Amino acid sequence: MTRQSIGLITEFLIKGYRVKVYISNHGEKRLRKRIKNNEQFKGNVDEYVVASNILALGKRVIPHCKNNDDVAIIDEDNNISVIAEFVELSDNEGRVNIITILDKTNIYVKDTTTIEKLK
């Protein structure tokens, strides 16, 4: 199921594979709420930090798109977890929909969600 997204944050190429990163309405609201209510995030975490978590996966993005995976990206440096839906649009293009952002790294996810820890 592809979730509704409100806006394109960025797009990039990995080995000729185009990746577009969108944030959902829910994700945008959660990001703003968490930044507003959590002193440690103010000025440090925004939609570009979240998008950089996708880019930090490097070429691992491609198989996630091809498999239409739901992925939880754990970013211990920023103490956040990004939950995203990866979708293949064509043989050379994928889309990442950021579903939500959590202000913790010790999370529980569905059995069908892949966990990626950033190093």
- The domain ranges of the chain are 5-117
**Pairing status of strand 93-102 against strand 17-24:** parallel
The partner residues of 67 in beta bridges, in order of sequence, read none
- The encoded tokens of residue 55 equal 């880019």
Residue 55 corresponds to which amino acid? L
d(CA 69, CA 63): 9
Per-residue pLDDT of the chain (119 residues; tens, 9 = 90+): 455 556 899 999 999 999 999 998 888 888 777 666 666 655 577 888 888 999 999 999 999 999 999 999 999 988 889 999 999 999 999 999 999 988 888 999 999 999 999 98
Tell me: the pLDDT tens digits for 52-82?
A: 999 999 999 999 999 999 999 999 988 889 9
- The strand ranges marked E within 3-112 are 5-14, 17-24, 70-75, 80-90, 93-102
Contact (CB, 8 A) for 54 and 21:
yes
pTM of structure: 0.86
d(CA 95, CA 18): 8
